[in-house]
């Protein structure tokens, strides 16, 4: 990794962390606003603001530090019960969150947006006014965090002796010791400082990228011991830190701490954290507890490991290749008919399968985090529209692939906005219709047949099919009204369709719903609607769990291998009489133990030359509740496979989801079962039903 990349990596880690923190901040505030918050929630908001300020300080992002400082101060007062949280204050804090986000967005730009700066000044003023109502206008001027902190460190504030030694990897890990000292200067007054570098070798022996810097300094501050230590919290593993109160004039609690010299040297190899604590004399219970917290936090940090996404992708690619290679070995083992070889390759296959599952599991994240973001969308949009809407989230712990989460956020946002805008009626209309004034919007997720299903449901007015048909005819999207309700509903996903009576600035521009469908289909997913007039609408997204690897069932048709995803496979039977009755037909219906199902001859459908004397079979596949029989020439059995996307030329191909390389080196095509089923159903088969989810 080059130096630029290193810096870039630590900066992007900052942005990612800041994003996480802003989300936690927002979640906590919204919870408090709903009246569901407690002291812990407030603490979470405070910690999030504090962390943003701290890491922004390390990178020298001054505007972020300055503004967040005011937010943090206000939250601190809120936490201490000095001021009360009312709706106005929470609104102010939520606006402040957006301001922090805007400021972070401006990092790296040469010139900031004047509007952002102006809003920052206004918000900062309001924040400080809430802190001290009726404060003189002089105080209301924006103060630089550093000078403010210095002022507060008046003569009565206690002095601390801070000794810090940065360990060798500090520079290489992207930290600059000077940043910590500068940041320390923002929480108090550094009255004296000098470098202490006993390990610094002569110029000839120096590895200039190893850090040998240490400092001893006197700090005068009102901040507590924990707060001083917190300054170094981003590099606790990288430094030895000793903080001692300096004089007898220090307040009582500081005197207590005095005896318990806090030595944090956790990361020194081979020195367990516990022994460091045990070595420190702990006569008072309070400091002992304080010391115990530090290692606890560390454990928490080591429980998670940030990994670059491309490294993980590379690992998953490799495991994909391993899956192919092990299938190849299996084939050879079968051909050789050597029992020990077969046994060994079977063992390898088991292990590869486990490794594959674990590797894919690494990318899985609960969908709940994404859902939680919609609290804010629902709050803002419903206020804008003057509607009262409650968001109900279920199935938040359902997991799906991280890359999927990112791709699904946009379509989901649009569906949610659409439901709020067009689905849920105004309070007056709702009361007139005998519904509670407060509308309900539900987000739900669950796993079904190897797919993740995400539903956006509302208890609004439902789709007005008459108007949809009228509009589609007007716009020339259709020549005559479709027969089934489901087909009418799908019209809203046609490009250029919009039925909003008045075009609102939210979702009435007629762009979007078709984009939603395109996005979902590009993820190999489908979208379905169920709607009952006056009762509500449910939009259902069905998406694959991952884009990388599937368990498949290998078949051949003509000379071509086709893979059917195992999750879609129901059963394999001999070709029923109905399928051979009419030799020219490529589809029809057959009777499966009393159930009438459509069938499709894959060979004829894809235009393969018929294989003479083939003992053909029929495989029954399903998606959701629709079942279809597919006629193939030969069944080869289960097969684990890595999906390789089709080349640019074949992007438009329907019914083929991708390709894969077999152990023998041949290429197999992966059937897109949902698309096939959809196509067969469109020709007289049964359309899948989606039920309106009862929002209760």
Partner 1 sequence: MQDIAEQEIARGISALVADMPTRLDGDLTIYRAAELRQYLAERVDAGDSAFDLSGVGEIDGAGVQLLLALDATLTSAGRRLELSGLPRQAIEALAVCGLDARLQVMTELRA
Cβ distance to partner 1 smaller for residue 198 or 476 = 198
171 or 562: whose CB is closer to partner 1? 171
Buried b (16+ CB within 10 A) or exposed e, 170-195: bbeebbbbebbbebbbbbbbbeeeee
Q: Out of 182, 224, 475, 535, which residue is the one contacting partner 1 (CB under 8 A)?
A: 182
Question: What is the pattern of x (binds partner 1, CB under 8 A) and - over residues 122-161?
Answer: ---------------------------------------x
Nearer to partner 1, 179 or 617 (CB): 179
Phi and psi angles of residue 332, each rounded to the nearest 5 degrees, phi first: -60, -45
CB of residue 191 to partner 1, shortest distance in Å? 7
Instruction: Provide the minimum distance between the beta carbon of 153 and partner 1 in the complex, in angstroms, as a whole number.
Output: 16
Strand order in the sheet with 189-195: 189-195, 214-220, 159-166, 239-245, 262-264
Our CB check for partner 1 shows the closer of 200 and 572 to be 200
Question: Considering the complex, what minimum distance in angstroms separates the CB of residue 169 from partner 1?
Answer: 12
CA 176 to chain centre: 31
* Residue number with CB closer to partner 1 (76 or 242): 242
Q: Rounded distance, CA 175 to CA 211, Å?
A: 10
Pairing relationship of beta strands 617-623 and 239-245 according to DSSP bridges: unpaired
176 forms part of the interface with partner 1 (CB under 8 A): yes
Cα–Cα distance list, 572 to 134, 569, 589, 658 (Å): 80, 8, 16, 23
Find out whether 406 and 334 touch, Cβ atoms under 8 Å.
no
User: Among residues 200 and 585, whose Cβ is nearest to partner 1?
Assistant: 200
State how far the alpha carbon of 251 is from the alpha carbons of 150, 201, 296, in Å. 19, 41, 27
CA distance 478 to 599: 29
Q: What angle do CA 675, 688, 455 make, to 5 degrees?
A: 90
The region of 177-185, 288-296, 488-496, 576-584 touching partner 1 under the rule CB under 8 A is 177-185
Residues 185-224 that bind partner 1 (CB under 8 A): 185, 191-195, 197, 200-204, 206-209, 211-213, 215-218
Q: Which x/- pattern over 563-602 shows residues binding partner 1 (rule: CB under 8 A)?
A: ----------------------------------------
* The one segment of 168-176, 254-262, 475-483, 564-572 that binds partner 1 by CB under 8 A: 168-176
The binding track of 35-54 with respect to partner 1, each residue x by CB under 8 A or -, is --------------------
Which residues, in sequence order, are bridge partners of residue 163? 216, 242
Q: Rounded to an integer, what is the distance from CA 341 to the centroid of its chain?
A: 44
Sign of CA dihedral 74, 77, 79, 82: negative
Nearer Cβ to partner 1, position 65 or 456? 65
Q: Does 470 bind partner 1 (CB under 8 A)?
A: no
Written as six digits, the tokens of 568 are: 């879609």
In whole angstroms, how close is the CB of 149 to partner 1 at the nearest point?
16
168 in contact with partner 1 (CB under 8 A):
no
Q: Shortest Cβ distance from residue 176 to partner 1 (Å)?
A: 5
Q: How far is the CB of 215 from partner 1 (least distance, A)?
A: 7
Q: Which is nearer to partner 1, 172 or 604 (CB)?
A: 172
- Would you say 541 and 411 are in contact if contact means Cβ atoms under 8 Å apart? yes
For the CB of residue 183, give the shortest distance to partner 1 in the complex, in Å.
10
Q: What is the DSSP letter of 421?
A: I
Query: Per-residue x/- marks for partner 1, 228-247, CB under 8 A?
Result: ------------------x-
Find the shortest distance in angstroms from Cβ 182 to partner 1. 6
Going by their DSSP bridges, the two strands 560-565 and 399-401 should be labelled as unpaired
**Closest to partner 1 by CB, 73 or 179:** 179
Given a contact cutoff of 8 angstroms between Cβ atoms, the answer to whether 153 and 220 are in contact is: yes
CB of 7 or CB of 268, closer to partner 1: 7
Site string for partner 1, 89-118 (x = CB under 8 A): ------------------------------
Asked if residue 18 lies in contact with residue 366, where contact means CB atoms within 8 angstroms, the answer is: no
Cβ nearer to partner 1, comparing 204 with 505 = 204
Please tell me the total number of residues recorded for the chain in this structure.
Answer: 696
Stretch that binds partner 1, among 74-82, 171-179, 563-571, 683-691 (CB under 8 A): 171-179
* Cβ contact 59:71 at 8 Å: no
Report the DSSP pairing between strands 560-565 and 526-532.
unpaired
> What is the phi/psi pair of residue 204, to 5°?
-70, -30
Considering the complex, state which of residue 105 and residue 201 has its C-beta at the smaller distance from partner 1. 201
Q: Which of 120, 158, 177, 512 binds partner 1 (CB under 8 A)?
A: 177
Nearer residue to partner 1 within complex by CB, 194 or 651: 194
Asked if residue 160 lies in contact with residue 228, where contact means CB atoms within 8 angstroms, the answer is yes
- Give the separation between CA 656 and CA 674, rounded to whole angstroms: 10
Beta bridge partners of 637: 554
Among all chains, which residue has been given the structure tokens 């300020």?
Answer: 53
- Residue among 425, 671, 485, 679 nearest 567 (CA): 671
Binding partner 1 (rule: CB under 8 A), the pick from 118, 178, 307, 318 is 178
> Where does residue 391 rank: exposed (0-12), middle (13-18), buried (19+ CB within 10 A)?
buried
- Which residue's CB is nearer to partner 1, number 25 or number 175? 175
* CB closer to partner 1, 47 vs 182: 182
Which residue shows structure tokens 């390990």? Answer: 199
- Smallest gap from Cβ 67 to partner 1, in A, equals 23
CA 492 from centroid of its chain's CA atoms: 28
644: which DSSP letter? B
Binding residue count for partner 1, defined by CB under 8 A: 36
Query: 281: which 2 tokens?
Result: 């004399």
Provide the minimum distance between the beta carbon of 302 and partner 1 in the complex, in angstroms, as a whole number.
26
Evaluate whether 381 touches 421 at the Cβ level (below 8 Å).
yes
Binding-site ranges for partner 1 (CB under 8 A): 3-4, 161, 166, 170-171, 176-179, 181-182, 185, 191-195, 197, 200-204, 206-209, 211-213, 215-218, 246
């Amino acid at each position: 990794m080059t130096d630029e990349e290193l810096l870039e990596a630590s900066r992007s880690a900052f942005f990612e962390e800041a994003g996480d923190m802003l989300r936690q901040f927002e979640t906590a505030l919204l919870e408090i606003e709903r009246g569901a918050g407690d002291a812990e929630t407030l603490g979470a908001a405070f910690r999030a603001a504090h962390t943003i300020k701290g890491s922004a300080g390390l990178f020298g992002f001054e505007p972020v530090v300055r503004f967040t400082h005011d937010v943090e101060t206000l939250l601190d007062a809120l936490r201490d019960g000095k001021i009360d949280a009312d709706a106005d204050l929470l609104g102010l804090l939520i606006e402040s969150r957006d301001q922090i986000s805007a400021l972070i967005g401006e990092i790296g730009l040469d010139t900031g947006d004047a509007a952002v700066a102006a809003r920052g000044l206004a918000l900062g003023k309001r924040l400080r006014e809430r802190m001290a109502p009726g404060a003189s206008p002089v105080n209301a001027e924006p103060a630089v965090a550093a000078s403010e902190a210095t002022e507060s460190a008046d003569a009565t504030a206690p002095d601390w002796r801070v000794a810090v030694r940065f360990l060798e990897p500090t520079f290489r890990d992207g930290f600059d010791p000077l940043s910590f000292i500068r940041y320390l200067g923002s929480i108090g007054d550094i009255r004296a400082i000098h470098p202490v570098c006993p390990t610094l070798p002569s110029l000839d022996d120096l590895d200039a990228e190893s850090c040998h810097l240490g400092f001893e300094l006197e700090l005068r501050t009102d901040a507590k011991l924990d707060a001083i230590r917190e300054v170094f919290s981003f590099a606790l593993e990288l430094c030895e830190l000793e903080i001692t109160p300096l004089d007898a004039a220090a307040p009582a609690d500081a005197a207590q701490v005095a005896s318990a010299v806090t030595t944090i040297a956790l990361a020194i190899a081979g020195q367990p954290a516990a022994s460091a604590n045990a070595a420190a004399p702990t006569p008072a219970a309070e400091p002992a507890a304080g010391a115990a917290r530090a290692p606890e936090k560390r454990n928490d940090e080591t429980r998670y490991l940030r990994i670059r996404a491309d490294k993980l992708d590379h690992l998953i690619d490799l495991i994909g290749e391993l899956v192919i290679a092990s299938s190849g070995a299996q084939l050879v083992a079968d051909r050789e008919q050597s029992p020990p070889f077969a046994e060994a390759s079977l063992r390898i296959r088991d292990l590869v399968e486990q490794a594959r599952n674990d590797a894919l599991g690494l990318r899985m994240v609960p969908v709940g985090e994404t859902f939680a973001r919609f609290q804010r969308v629902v709050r803002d949009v419903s206020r804008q529209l003057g509607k009262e809407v409650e968001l109900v989230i279920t199935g938040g712990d359902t997991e799906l692939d991280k890359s999927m989460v990112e791709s699904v956020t946009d379509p989901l946002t649009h569906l949610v906005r659409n439901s709020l805008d067009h689905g849920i009626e105004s309070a007056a209309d709702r009361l007139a219709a005998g519904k509670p004034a407060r509308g309900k919007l539900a987000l739900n997720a669950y796993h079904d047949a190897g797919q993740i299903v995400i539903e956006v449901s509302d208890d609004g007015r439902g789709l007005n099919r008459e108007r949809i048909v009228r509009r589609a005819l007007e716009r020339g999207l259709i020549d005559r009204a479709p027969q089934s309700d489901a087909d009418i509903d799908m019209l809203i996903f046609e490009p250029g369709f919009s039925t909003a009576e008045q075009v609102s600035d939210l979702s009435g521009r007629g762009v979007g719903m078709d984009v939603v469908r395109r996005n979902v289909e590009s993820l190999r997913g489908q979208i379905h609607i169920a709607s009952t007039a006056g009762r509500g609408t449910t939009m259902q997204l069905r998406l694959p769990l991952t884009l990388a690897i599937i368990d498949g069932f290998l078949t051949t048709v003509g000379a071509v291998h086709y893979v059917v995803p195992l999750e879609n496979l129901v059963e394999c039977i001999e070709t029923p009489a109905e399928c051979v009755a009419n030799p020219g037909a490529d589809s029809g219906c057959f009777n499966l133990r009393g159930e009438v199902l459509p069938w499709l001859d894959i060979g004829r459908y894809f235009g393969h030359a018929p294989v003479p004397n083939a003992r053909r079979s029929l495989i029954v596949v399903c998606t959701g509740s629709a079942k279809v029989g597919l006629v193939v020439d030969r069944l080869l059995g289960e097969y684990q496979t890595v999906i390789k996307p089709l080349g640019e030329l074949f992007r438009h191909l329907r019914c083929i989801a991708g390709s894969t390389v077999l152990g023998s080196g041949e290429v197999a095509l992966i059937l897109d079962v949902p698309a096939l089923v959809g196509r067969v159903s469109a020709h007289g088969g049964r359309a899948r039903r989606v039920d309106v989810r009862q929002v209760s």
